[in-house]
Structure 1
Amino acid sequence: MRSIVGLWRWRGNPLCRRSDRREAWLAFWAVVLIVLGAPLVGWLGTVKAHDALLSTVEQQRQNRHQVWASAESLATRPPVDTDPESAAEPDTRRQVTARWTGPDGTSHSGTVRAGHGVQPGERFRIWTDDQGRIASRPMTERSAGSHAALAGLAAAAGTAGALEAARRLAIRQVMRRRYARWDAEWQRIGPDWGRTGTSN
């Protein structure tokens, strides 16, 4: 940003070098692309992720079913229910060994999580897939929207970071060429420095 302001202030100054103008233009276009491009990429990422997640929601609604399970005993083994959305929540459910019949009519048994008050002999609801295997609860549209928003934010931040990294690399190249020209000029006039007008 300072490069842009400096270019505007020095625009008519003969001491303003071509590399100064190039540096200012790089900064200007980087700002424009970050301000306009990053939000656009974030919005497109949100829309694409939301569409994909809504498709997943619909697929899960079709392939996952709630069935009744009968608790047989309190379990000592880890449960087969591995719901990633509930992993971070405090565990208010107990583990029980249960039996259930899948949507396809097959009988199953295993260790699952049930409500904290469920006792052996009681019935409770669990989620299964089409084959009766334990499955996590289907994703809700609200969760899909939240995940899509996070994906859009990540896409926007990644785009802004990539643009800033590209600007820094370009500026580094400009500075390298500037220093190389300075070295060449110094090699040309350095040996005669301070001896202008003197005779040998």
Structure 2
Amino acid sequence: MAAFRGPKVWLWRWRRNPLRRRSDRLEAWVVLAAWTFTVLGGVVTGLLATRSVEHNLDRQRVEWRPVVAQLTKNAPGTTAPSASGSERVWAEVRWTGTDGSAHTGQTRVVPASTVGTPVTVWTDADGRMVTKPATRSEAELRSSLIGVLVGVTAAGVPFLGGRLARGRLERRRMDEWDQEWERVGPLWGRKTW
């Protein structure tokens, strides 16, 4: 099949050619714009998202603090060691914020812990309980993955837009070919002798 196509000519839509149609030039510009916006938009958006997530996670590492809290009720469960040794249960804890106000919340603790057992929880600047902040390497991995996901998603918009535009141009070109063939096709059936 490739033998019938002839040699591949690079940038054929941009070269001077008396057979080049207006739709070929328009398609060349659509392809150029779509690829430019796809590549640049994806890269720039991905980098901005990565930087934003990194900044947010760095801020959390700086602002969030560990606080010692005490259990307010006995934790459910038994003291028998589990097979994995990492089993935790939910229990209510109380801690004092930096402003001196009392706070309560729920966190995971060792099963069968008694009232008053100290537990380390993490709080934000307002004294609300939060998860432990991501380490530097975890933050880099998270921000990279989110940046790639956002970049690919952002790149998909102009790519799909370009594909749709090219599809419409192709349908229009085929309709023009049909009209030309309806006009010229019947002339081929006549005998000229």
What's the CA shift for 1:116?
Answer: 4.8
Residues 158 and 70 (structure 1 numbering): CA distance in 2 closer, same or farther, change over 3 Å?
closer
Q: Aligned residue for 1:80?
A: none
Q: 1:152 aligns with which of 140, 147, 159?
A: 147
What's the CA shift for 1:100?
Answer: 1.6
- 1:169 maps to 2:164: yes
Q: How many residue pairs were aligned?
A: 178
What's the CA shift for 1:126?
Answer: 0.9
In the alignment, is the contact (CA less than 8 A) between 1:102 and 1:130 conserved in 2?
no
Cα distance in 2 for residues equivalent to 1:45 and 1:144:
18
Q: Aligned residue for 2:51?
A: 51
What's the CA shift for 1:125?
Answer: 0.9
Cα distance in 1 for residues equivalent to 2:118 and 2:189:
99
Cα distance in 2 for residues equivalent to 1:173 and 1:93:
59
Residues 24 and 178 (structure 1 numbering): CA distance in 2 closer, same or farther, change over 3 Å?
closer
What's the CA shift for 1:172?
Answer: 1.8
Q: Aligned residue for 1:64?
A: 64
Q: Aligned residue for 1:100?
A: 95
* TM-score of the superposed pair, with normalisation by structure 1: 0.64
Counterpart secondary structure, 1:168: helix
Return 5+ residue gaps in structure 2 as ranges: 77-85
Cα distance in 1 for residues equivalent to 2:87 and 2:100:
30
Q: Aligned residue for 1:134?
A: 129
Letter in 2 for 1:194: G
Residues 47 and 63 (structure 1 numbering): CA distance in 2 closer, same or farther, change over 3 Å?
same
**What's the % identity of the aligned pairs?**
31
Return 5+ residue gaps in structure 1 as ranges: 77-90
Q: Which string of whole-angstrom CA distances, capped at 9 and with x for unpartnered residues, describes residues 152-189 of structure 1?
A: 32244235433432332232233223222222223323
- 1:121 maps to 2:100: no
Q: CA RMSD in A?
A: 4.0
Spell out the pairing of 1:71-110 with structure 2 (5 A cutoff): 71-75=71-75, 92-110=87-105
